[in-house]
Amino acid sequence: MHIRRIHTSDIPAFHALWTQTYSEGIYIPNAPPSQERILEVVRKVVAKQMPNFVAVSGESLLGIVEVFPGTMCGISGEDADLSGYLGIQIAAPHRRQGLGRELMHIAIEDSARYGFKCIELHVLETNHTAIRLYESFGFQDGGSAKVKVMPNGASVMSRIMTLNFSGYC
């Protein structure tokens, strides 16, 4: 297994991972966009060397972590791109084995290099394992975000968590 920056050739496997995680019904509230839309985004990521990494073993994609500037996440304002917005997915057979920790460590280091002043993420209140992982990196609870309706039909509150590099957020 090794971790590297995402490539456009990872898109089919990334789409499959997102689809699988979404179909579990409890971790991701949104179905994946089309592979064409993902390609548009990954091309920008690659060109600007944004902090987006994959963990791979042979031909298998085991996990992904992405940190995007605010303007790519619908955030507006003069300083929107000083905050990074993080998402992470780990394939079910590889969870709770330290892979998420490895991906988070690399993403946080590279986010500082990229120039983010802080990283924000949204996590479901029911995802206690992820919350403990984020807290171990120094993420602070920023309060409730909004209720998400999950693919399994459950309504779950999401929480905002923030990691400050310079007291910006």
Q: Which of 3.40.190.10, 3.40.50.2300, 3.40.630.30, 3.40.1350.10 is the CATH number of 2-164?
A: 3.40.630.30
Please determine, for residue 89, whether its predicted confidence score (pLDDT) is greater than 70.
yes
Residue 168 has what pLDDT? 63
Q: Encode pLDDT of 33-78 as tens digits.
A: 999 999 999 999 999 999 999 999 998 999 999 999 999 998 888 8
Q: Is the pLDDT of residue 7 over 90?
A: yes
Domain map (residue ranges) of the chain: 2-164
pLDDT band at 167 (very low <50, low <70, confident <90, very high): low
pLDDT for the residue numbered 169? 67
pLDDT at 88: 97
Please provide residue 114's backbone torsions phi and psi, each rounded to the nearest 5 degrees: -65, -25
The answer to whether 144 and 159 are in contact (CB under 8 A) is: yes
Q: Tell me: the pLDDT tens digits for 100-152?
A: 999 999 999 999 999 999 999 999 999 999 999 999 999 999 988 889 999 99
Q: Please name the residue that has the structure tokens 């060109």.
A: 47
Does an H or E element contain 114, and which? helix 99-114
Residues in the chain: 169
For residue 50, the tally of other CB atoms under 10 A from its CB is 23
For residue 166, the model assigns a pLDDT of 73
pTM of the shown model: 0.94
Q: How confident is the model at residue 27 (pLDDT cuts 50, 70, 90)?
A: very high
